[in-house]
Chain A
Amino acid sequence: MTYKFHWEVPLQNLPAFFWGALATLEISALAVFIGLFIAIACALARLSKYPALRRAATAYVEVIRNTPLLVQLFYVYFGLPTIGINLSAFSVAIFALTLNCGAYCTEIIRAGIQSIHRGQTEAGLSLGMTRWQVFRYVILMPTLRVVWPPLASQFIATLLGSSVVSQISAEELTYAGSLLESRTYRTFEIFFAITIIYFVMSQVFSLLSYLTGRRVFRQAWGQL
């Protein structure tokens, strides 16, 4: 092995990586947060009594879940300008990731809602709660408690998957690496350092999700 490693390249550029990591967190957090609202709407649509709604939501979920994120990203990136919408690469990245995340979260939320026994809803209604109240207190809150662990893993999956958006030159952690790589050609060292950053982030968030799952959600359950 004659290759001489230059670890000083990633080490000297840690600030750039730090801002990149923040952008990655921002993209993933936005995608999951907005995606969650899409997911709740689509999960309700999938369980509704109107076949058209059910089919539309199912089509959305299946198309997104059975095609690669990279292709979805290109589709949105090249497609939006053709219908006259010009967004920055960063916005396109958030848009595509949100759509992607929404589909995966739909399945999580749907499973959560279905885990609530029908009798609970009927009990709520017979106590004179409105349908909205039943949805909010009897279905949504307990569902969120059930779906917390899979949602947290979805957040981590999105965090890791968001590295793909560097391919449309949206500025986040992987893009910061590519930019540095094009100046220094230290591909291996740079991407090795970035991989470590991703790994640390994913480990921190899985620990956080474990702790919040134990503390916050059990407490919330007691107060309900």
Chain B
Amino acid sequence: MPEIFIAFSYKDILFLLQGALVTIALCAMAASSGLILALAIGLMRTAQRFRFLRWPAGVYVEIFRGTPLLMQIFIAYFGLSILGLNLPRFVAMSIPLILYTGAYMGEIVRAGIEAVPRGQREAGLSLGMTYGHLLRYIVTPTAVRVMIPPSVGFLVQLVKGTSLAYVVGYVELTRAGYIVSQSTYATMLVFTLVGAIYFGICYPLSLASQRLELRLRRHA
């Protein structure tokens, strides 16, 4: 075994940590932009006056939740180049992840909005509130509290999802691990490290999600 540790140097660890930073950056990008998309999708799916907005949002959610993320990445990645768009790789990689986030978080937003009791909305309307006021003062306070635990839980899914950027050769944590394992032959050590880094990112999020959910249930 000692030759493994000679081949595997601190530079490899730095390379893995760089990969981890790319993974985190991808997640941050997908989560922040995806959230905006998700708010739009959630509002469309619960539209009251413009009910026709419900079905395109529903179709969108069904498509992205009913197909593998791997395929979404392939299609977005190669589709963008067919369209003749020469985007930086980080942006090209973010697009499928943003769309994916929009669909899953969109459902979380919808569930949050639907968690607001009907009577409260009606009370607001009968007080002469506009749709904007209704959202701001009646829907948001309850909906956001309901949305937070599953959203944090979704972040875990997203971090794991970014590992699929591996398939188009984008160097994030998994691809970095693969490269190091091919050059050092310390395969088990490398993938143990890679797994440990993912665990280090995801586990606190999982715990936070569980805690937040427990707290929410106690308050309810």
Chain A positions within 8 Å of B, measured between CB atoms, are 1-3, 62-63, 65-72, 74-75, 78-79, 82, 156, 160-161, 163-164, 166-167, 174, 187-188, 191-192, 194-195, 198-199, 202-203, 206
* Chain B interface, >50% SS class: helix
Known contacts A62-B203, A70-B163, A74-B178; is-contact A198 B198 (Cβ 8 Å): no
| A195 touching B164, Cβ below 8 Å | no
| A163 touching B198, Cβ below 8 Å | no
Most buried by B among A71, A75, A174: A71
Q: A1-B84, A68-B163 are in contact. List 6 more A-B contacts (CB 8 A).
A: A67-B195, A74-B181, A78-B181, A160-B69, A161-B68, A191-B75
Q: Which of B24-32, B106-114, B129-137, B186-194 forms contacts with chain A?
A: B186-194
| B164 touching A75, Cβ below 8 Å | no
| A68 touching B160, Cβ below 8 Å | yes
How many chain B residues have a CB neighbour from A under 8 Å?
39
How many A-B pairs with Cβ below 8 Å?
112
Nearest Cβ on chain B to A58's Cβ, whole angstroms: 12
B202 at the interface (CB under 8 A from A): yes
Q: What are 18 A-B pairs with beta-carbon distances under 8 A?
A: A63-B199, A65-B202, A66-B160, A68-B160, A69-B160, A70-B163, A71-B195, A74-B174, A74-B177, A74-B178, A78-B181, A79-B191, A160-B68, A163-B68, A166-B70, A191-B71, A199-B66, A203-B62
B79 at the interface (CB under 8 A from A): yes
Q: Which of A163, A174, A194, A199 contacts B63 (CB 8 A)?
A: A199
B167 at the interface (CB under 8 A from A): yes
Q: Which of B75, B79, B163 contacts A71 (CB 8 A)?
A: B163
Q: Which residues of A contact B75 (CB under 8 A)?
A: 188, 191-192, 195
| A67 touching B198, Cβ below 8 Å | yes
| B82 touching A195, Cβ below 8 Å | no
Q: Which residues of A contact B8 (CB under 8 A)?
A: none
Known contacts A68-B160, A79-B188, A194-B71; is-contact A188 B66 (Cβ 8 Å): no
| B70 touching A163, Cβ below 8 Å | yes
Inter-chain CA distance A147–B199, complex, in Å, is: 27
| B191 touching A71, Cβ below 8 Å | yes
Nearest Cβ on chain A to B15's Cβ, whole angstroms: 16
Q: Which of B66, B178, B202 contacts A198 (CB 8 A)?
A: B66
B67 at the interface (CB under 8 A from A): yes
| A67 touching B199, Cβ below 8 Å | yes
Q: Which residues of B contact A66 (CB under 8 A)?
A: 156, 160, 198-199, 202-203, 206
Inter-chain CA distance A167–B159, complex, in Å, is: 19
Q: Which residue of A lies closest to B84 (CB)?
A: A1
Q: Which residues of B contact A72 (CB under 8 A)?
A: 195
B74 at the interface (CB under 8 A from A): yes
| B68 touching A78, Cβ below 8 Å | no
Known contacts A71-B174, A78-B191; is-contact A202 B198 (Cβ 8 Å): no
| A3 touching B68, Cβ below 8 Å | no
Inter-chain CA distance A198–B194, complex, in Å, is: 29
Known contacts A188-B78, A191-B75, A192-B75; is-contact A164 B188 (Cβ 8 Å): no
Q: Which residues of A contact B69 (CB under 8 A)?
A: 160
Q: Which residues of B contact A68 (CB under 8 A)?
A: 159-161, 163-164, 174, 198
